Amino acid sequence: MKKTATEEAVVVRVGDHEVRLTHLDKVYWPEDGYTKRDLIEYYHSVSQYLLPHLKDRPLSLVRFPGGVSSDGFYQKDAPQGMPEWVRIAPVMSKEKEDYINFILCDTVSTLVWMANGGAIEINPWLSRYTNLDYPDFAVFDIDPSEGSTWEDVKIVVKMVKSLLDQWNLLGFPKVSGATGVHVYVPVEPRYTYKEIQAFVKYGAQFIRDAYPEKVTLERKVKDRFGKVYIDFPQNARGQTIGSVYGVRATRGAPVSMPIHWDELDTVTPQAWNITTALSRLERTGDLFLPVISTKQNIDPVLKAALAGQHN
């Protein structure tokens, strides 16, 4: 007799709730042999590190119920029929006269439920539901374009570091799990998205002007060839960036992992994956904890940005 989905399903207690898990042996990463079970076990295992970073943040999920070689889809609006204990954040849509019920992941139960739905990639907002218009960090998203290299990325990241040093600001780097690096600059949650983006753009312009041969701010992809793109427009309401400790739906199942600044020369952007991240985390602890606790004042830089009127 053919197995039904019901027969494959298993109900487990995760945190405070029971979660129904299905198709655990579904191969999600064919080239690596990793299954949905591996994904769920990963997210479950790092939940104590990950959850504080997701708390109160509206999420865009990228779901791959057929695994990473099938098309995935973004999901913002919470699906009907989800467990009643999944918290949501209604946010008025810009285009339609209706709310989008963003999923909030504040418990391990919800995290595991999302993973069971094939939510490989987790993309949180830069602001929290409790303070939606005021991000609590700015991000320097450093992306190599075709024709540029990881070596180029490292140079640009170091330039970001020295610029932040000049400004007496703390930044926290992580490898993206794809090809680049994200540098988070935690701020007091009282700057608008426009201000946060102006801040990052101002810094990015300095870096481009210092090294125009290898750094670009061009929005058109074809104009970025051979250069490293500093993706400052990513700092905008409704935009998201792959979560720290989030998984990528690409070969190897890489995860986004914080690093120490002095590790930059010894790591690669996909240095960790769902099978190796936990031991790293247990050794280093959560290097991104200060991103939550640090609240920096960027008034001086913002003032200079507005006065300077770079282009």
**If we measure between CA atoms, which residue out of 4, 59, 60, 64 comes closest to residue 39?**
64
Looking at the Cβ atoms of 163 and 217, the one nearer to DNA is 217
Q: CB of residue 171 vs DNA: minimum separation in angstroms? A: 25
- Residue of 13, 80, 213, 307 that binds DNA (CB under 7 A): 80
Which residue type, as a one-letter code, is found at position 160?
A: V
> Which span sits near Mn ion by CB under 5 A: 7-15, 68-76, 136-144, 166-174?
136-144
Task: Choose which of 51, 53, 75, 176 interacts with DNA (CB under 7 A).
Answer: 75
CB of 237 to Mn ion, least distance (A): 16
CA distances from residue 112 to 49, 109, 257 in whole angstroms, order as listed: 14, 5, 20
Closest residue by Cα to residue 87 from 64, 62, 58: 58
CB of 247 to DNA, least distance (A): 18
Q: How far is the CB of 145 from DNA (least distance, A)?
A: 12
User: How far apart, in whole angstroms, are the C-alpha atoms of residue 277 and residue 271?
Assistant: 9
Q: How far is the CB of 92 from DNA (least distance, A)?
A: 8
- Rg (alpha carbons) of the chain, rounded to whole number: 20
Q: Tell the smallest beta-carbon distance from residue 231 to Mn ion (Å).
A: 4
Q: Which of 144, 180, 203, 246 binds Mn ion (CB under 5 A)?
A: 180
Indicate whether 22 belongs to the interface with DNA (CB under 7 A): yes
Per CB under 5 A, which of residues 190..229 are in contact with Mn ion?
A: none
Return the structure tokens found at 93: 């849509």
Q: Does 231 bind Mn ion (CB under 5 A)?
A: yes
- Contact between 60 and DNA by CB under 7 A: the answer reads yes
DSSP string spanning 49-102? HHHHHHTT--EEEEE-TT-TTS--EEE-BPPTT--TTS-EEEEE-SSSSSEEEE
Name the one range near DNA by CB under 7 A: 32-40, 88-96, 241-249, 282-290.
88-96
User: CA-to-CA distance for 217 and 195, rounded, in angstroms?
Assistant: 18
- Among Mn ion, DNA, none, residue 231 binds (CB under 5-8 Å by kind): Mn ion
Note the residues at the interface with DNA (CB under 7 A).
4-6, 9, 22-23, 60, 63, 65, 73-77, 79-81, 93-96, 100, 219-220, 236-238
